[in-house]
Amino acid sequence: MGTVRDGPAGRWLGPGVAFVAILLVVPSLLSPTWEMSVSDREHGSLLSRQWEWSWGRVRVTGLEGVELRDDWNPIALAVLVVLLVAALVGVAAWASRRVEWGRGAALVTLALLTGRVLTTVADRLGRSLGEVDQGASGLTVRSQMTTAGTLETVAAVVLLVALVLIVATAGLGGRVVELGATQAPGPRSAVGAGEPAGLRPAGEHLASSPVSFDDTGKPDEIRRP
């Protein structure tokens, strides 16, 4: 089915884009995505620096780099790691084409990761919109997105592209299957056309009721004394 649906380039395009998107999220696990520094305008000395990770870790240092605070958020970190691993497994299953559910698994896991990444990107975007001007207090506040933050923002866009690719190619596949089913002769064609890419084997619902009646065995005994 996969070979009919996609050409050699199309076969690797979707999983490739998805894999790149997942890789782009990985730096945000290790590096901060947002950085803020407060310095004295007159003397130019650095009063404090603050780093924030997308999964909630906040690290603050004071004068001369003395660490004032380093709070981790292990639950959010665990959620992100689980989502990343799940997305990798889903994309690998889809790329291997050995399992029927690979496309569905890739889609769900990538959608979950996309939702998570979009949330942190939107959070960061709001942070840059709500910049506080500290000019009057004689302090210079400089805040910026780090490289990991930029990569994560790009990842959000690439993840959305990957999701669109998966759904678009699935729709194409459905049409191809439907066409094949209507061309095929025999009684199975009607079932195939009705359920272009259904989840159950064709004709399963037709087979079930006679089997269940035969199992009881009662009608025959009564009818043939």
Partner 1 sequence: MTEGEALAASSAREDGSRRDGWRMRLAGAALGGVGVLLAASTTVWPTRVFAVQVPEVGDFTKGYEQRIWSWGRQVVYSSDGVLLDGFGGPNPVARLVLLVVVLVLAAASLATWVVVPGRRGELTAAVGLGLALATVTGSVVERVSFDDRSMGPQPGLVEITTTAAWLEVVSVGVLAVTLALMVVPVVLLGPSAALERRVALVLQRLKAPRADAALRADAAPRADAAPGSTHTPSVGFSDDPD
Nearer to partner 1, 42 or 71 (CB): 71
Nearer to partner 1, 45 or 168 (CB): 168
Nearer to partner 1, 41 or 205 (CB): 205
* Amino acid found at 216: T
**Which residues of the shown chain bind partner 1 in the complex (CB under 8 A)?**
56, 58, 69, 71, 73-76, 79, 83, 100-101, 103-105, 107-116, 118-120, 122-123, 125-127, 129-130, 132, 163, 166-167, 170-171, 173-174, 187, 190-191, 194-201, 204-206, 208-210, 212-216, 218-219, 222-223, 225
Shortest distance, position 125 Cβ to partner 1, whole Å: 4
Per-residue tokens: 89 = 């497994």
Shortest distance, position 174 Cβ to partner 1, whole Å: 5
Residue of 79, 92, 97, 77 lying closest to 2 (CA atoms): 97
Shortest distance, position 212 Cβ to partner 1, whole Å: 5
Per-residue tokens: 29 = 């696990």
